[in-house]
């Protein structure tokens, strides 16, 4: 069972128990940011590691990536940025 919410932009519901160490895959959109129907897996790691990686990219490239979390939940840049701002996000800096 996935512990990531199914809504990406709701924002009003509190999200508990994010699986920061859950297995995830980083995908680059084959068409440079359009529909995410032809994704290529380019990296595997934990959810937290992949969020940090995407946010380490230049701002204008971040939207070209999506994270596929175990449990078949796909995170796009808005949700990736939102999760990175959570007080419980495991980060080494900031």
Domain-embedded: residue 3: no
> Chain-wide mean pLDDT for the chain?
78
6: Cα separation from own chain's centroid: 13
The answer to whether residue 8 is domain-embedded is no
Dump the DSSP string for the chain. Answer: ---S-S-SS--SSPP----TTSEEEEEEETTSSS-TTSEEEEEEEEHHHHHHHHHHS-HHHHTTEEEEETTTEEE-HHHHHHHHTSTT---S--
Q: How many residues does the chain have?
A: 94
* pTM strictly above 0.85: no
Does 17 fall in a domain? no
Residue 80 lies in a domain: yes
Q: Give a yes or no: residue 73 inside a domain.
A: yes
Residue 10 lies in a domain: no
10 or 82: which carries more pLDDT confidence?
82
Q: Which domain holds residue 27?
A: 23-84
- The per-residue pLDDT for range 35-79, each reduced to its tens digit, is 545 567 899 999 999 999 999 999 999 999 999 998 778 999 999
Q: Give the pLDDT of residue 41.
A: 84
């Amino acid at each position: 069972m996935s512990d990531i919410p199914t809504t990406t932009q709701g924002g009003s519901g509190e999200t508990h128990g994010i699986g920061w160490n859950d297995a995830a895959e980083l995908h680059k959109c084959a068409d440079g940011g359009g529909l995410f129907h032809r994704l290529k897996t380019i990296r595997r790691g934990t959810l937290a590691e992949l969020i940090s990686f995407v946010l380490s990219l230049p701002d204008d490239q971040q939207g070209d990536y999506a994270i596929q979390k175990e449990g078949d939940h796909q995170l796009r840049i808005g949700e990736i940025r939102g999760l990175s701002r959570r007080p419980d996000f495991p980060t080494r800096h900031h």
